[in-house]
Structure 1
């Protein structure tokens, strides 16, 4: 069968879909990843074919650093789902804008290439829109705890004009099925048709260094910033938060690996002696010898850390981060501090407890086992083949590879 994978141009939205894409190709299916020009290097790095469709992500940075961060700053405390619901359709305006910028090219390509299945990132609305327009199943591939499903009540209204323009009925963006790599006990209880799948960490290409495998002589902590934190870096809030984290880690008998890219290195100008700055490195190469991960709460980092049974301290900056932080803390596999409550003393207290208490590690290992018990990507490919066959679509004999 032919599978069209669509996502917008941030690598963190592509990476969760890479292992399933590998499995589809290994099973003999044709697959191509559609996005804008900015994602082509990441698609190539993953060893997947790409097609460039639509304009570059439309004013995403301006939207994130303008309205979104201003909205976060206006809230009296951490952003909650209830705050998002108050925004109504405006909560998904950025995703609608990205769909508008890519839908025409994507539809033209789909009508020529004729996919049997569309797999899409949950914030890439062009995925279910295209699947509806060409009448094929749509598989929504989430990256962890299903925060994005909470905005579904606004999406038909937000997408109304675009649906009308391309000639499809107002739609539910959940698609035909949701591909779900999250451990069931950590997942939301929303009414979604789910196809469970084992999480396989993929955090981009990298080179394993010999010291990555060496057993550290003291607890090793990974400190990293998410992509949203990079956009947030110039604000006083972000600078103060990371300065407080570094002060909290100073003097502890730990080794800190701070992953700093071209933007996040601005956080790390004054370093304690126990902090080592390293170049951007795939997280899955570091975690086998690590004892704690400190990060903002992005889904990919949460899931990768759980895949290695490593406890986490989350410092959430956005509403999905807060959502992840709350659920992870309730599981016992980590803890969180809101931006307003991050002080050096609070960071130190939380780090010491997470390292000394056996409970968080035991719960993280329990979730790791739960993740490992999920069906493999190869088994999910079999399920997707059956889904496509039941719908009676396909491009001839290649529809089923066995």
Structure 2
């Protein structure tokens, strides 16, 4: 088979797909990964064939308050509810992701055009696409390939679609098919190639889902469960990491994407440094200069590493402090490492923190009002209370209950044969 992965230009979206791409490639299938040129180096570094789609010549139009209001009204959220918090996270993925593939200032959706052309030319049998790259669904449709989504976190798109369907089924809501904000948001991408919005186009033929079954997800979708096998980049093992730590090692990381969000000192880093300054621990902080700022004192027991694959350092750790992203979460979980999540209102933090707490595998704090005293208190608990190690073992069991990427290969072969257009 020929399999084309289509990925939005974020490493956090590419990395969960890499082990599956390896498995398919190792089974003798032809695999290519398409994304913006900015991700090509990461793709090839993983030993995969990259298809560069270029870059937009103009930035996508900004998200307007009017658009957000249309979504918020259609979804019927109440301020302060769980739905409201999920919506605040979802809007930055859903609307922004779609706009990346909208037409440019001259009416050309450049990235979408190039992806569709690559699919038409190469004729893959299966397109596996990132939900934040909705043009992947069009590419599959245009070349008659089976269409599968590859999740990297919560199914925001499926969840929003289900919620809108519920609202449209209720006449009192005032939401109708012709006022569906999700259909309107995707119309410039789908309509460019002559396709009308539909659930089949939005959600694919099936979904490859590496999240444990204990996490909530929308109902009614065909899902193919897969074990999350962490891939966090590659590089030589530093000499200091090859030796066992002399005291408990704690990893502090805020994720790869977080490096581009904060343009000044990250106060979560400052609070963590102050907290560990007097503790008998060794801290490995994978943060860059921007996150440190210019005036932050680094304690003697903190080692600053601009970048280090988490899969290298995590097996040596007794605890990890991070932002709640699923890439970091599962890199720690597969090694049974208790976790402290310091989350903000964006990202996957809401979902990962609830799962972490339900399993007793760690503690959660909020970035707003974060204090060094609270970080120190909770970190001491992670390192001394046996219940957290037991909870981390429970999360590990959840993850390993799903089939690995290699076991999915024959499943994807059968599903591709079922859904691919013939003739």
Q: 1:291 aligns with which of 307, 313, 318?
A: 318
Q: 2:96 aligns with which of 94, 100, 106?
A: 94
Give structure 2 stretches of 5+ with no counterpart: 69-78, 103-109, 165-180
Give structure 1 stretches of 5+ with no counterpart: 69-76, 396-402
Mapped contact 2:266–2:292 kept (Cα < 8 A):
no
Query: Structure 1 residues 99, 295: closer, same or farther in 2, change over 3 A?
Result: same
Distance (whole Å) between structure 2 residues aligned to residue 84 and residue 284 of structure 1: 29
Q: What do residues 45-96 of structure 1 show as CA deviations (whole Å, max 9, x unaligned)?
A: 0011111114249648988xxx99xxxxxxxx99964245379978622111
Mapped contact 1:186–1:331 kept (Cα < 8 A):
no
Between 1:330-339 and 1:131-140, the stretch displaced more is 131-140
Match of 1:347 in 2: 375
Distance (whole Å) between structure 2 residues aligned to residue 61 and residue 342 of structure 1: 34
**SS in structure 1 at match of 2:221:** coil
Q: What do residues 306-364 of structure 1 show as CA deviations (whole Å, max 9, x unaligned)?
A: 11111111111214223322222222112211111310111011111111111121111
**SS in structure 1 at match of 2:293:** helix
How far the C-alpha of 1:226 sits from its partner, in A, is 2.0
Q: 1:157 aligns with which of 178, 184, 188?
A: 184
**SS in structure 2 at match of 1:31:** strand
1:234 partnered with 2:263: yes
Distance (whole Å) between structure 2 residues aligned to residue 249 and residue 288 of structure 1: 20
Distance (whole Å) between structure 2 residues aligned to residue 349 and residue 241 of structure 1: 15
Match of 2:409 in 1: 381
Match of 2:233 in 1: 204
Distance (whole Å) between structure 1 residues aligned to residue 262 and residue 81 of structure 2: 18
Match of 2:215 in 1: 186
How far the C-alpha of 1:376 sits from its partner, in A, is 1.9
Query: Structure 1 residues 57, 255: closer, same or farther in 2, change over 3 A?
Result: farther
Q: What do residues 369-395 of structure 1 show as CA deviations (whole Å, max 9, x unaligned)?
A: 232232121221111100111235479
Match of 2:72 in 1: none
Distance (whole Å) between structure 2 residues aligned to residue 335 and residue 42 of structure 1: 32
Match of 2:341 in 1: 314
Between 1:238-247 and 1:174-183, the stretch displaced more is 238-247
Normalising by structure 2, report the TM-score. 0.82
Q: How does 1:254-273 map to 2 (within 5 A)?
A: 254-261=281-288, 263-266=290-293, 269-273=296-300
Instruction: Please report the RMSD computed on the Cα atoms of aligned residues, expressed in angstroms.
Output: 2.9
Distance (whole Å) between structure 1 residues aligned to residue 351 and residue 92 of structure 2: 19
**SS in structure 2 at match of 1:186:** coil
Between 1:83-92 and 1:254-263, the stretch displaced more is 83-92
Distance (whole Å) between structure 2 residues aligned to residue 266 and residue 120 of structure 1: 37
Q: 1:134 aligns with which of 130, 136, 143?
A: 143
Between 1:305-314 and 1:124-133, the stretch displaced more is 124-133
Match of 1:4 in 2: 4
Q: What do residues 234-285 of structure 1 show as CA deviations (whole Å, max 9, x unaligned)?
A: 35xx633321121112101111001123543438841112111124111011
Distance (whole Å) between structure 1 residues aligned to residue 113 and residue 305 of structure 2: 42
Mapped contact 1:178–1:193 kept (Cα < 8 A):
yes
1:300 partnered with 2:309: no
Mapped contact 1:311–1:361 kept (Cα < 8 A):
yes
Normalising by structure 1, report the TM-score. 0.86
Distance (whole Å) between structure 2 residues aligned to residue 394 and residue 379 of structure 1: 26
Q: What do residues 111-167 of structure 1 show as CA deviations (whole Å, max 9, x unaligned)?
A: 111111111122111112222333322221112444553333453332023222211
Distance (whole Å) between structure 2 residues aligned to residue 354 and residue 183 of structure 1: 23
1:20 partnered with 2:29: no
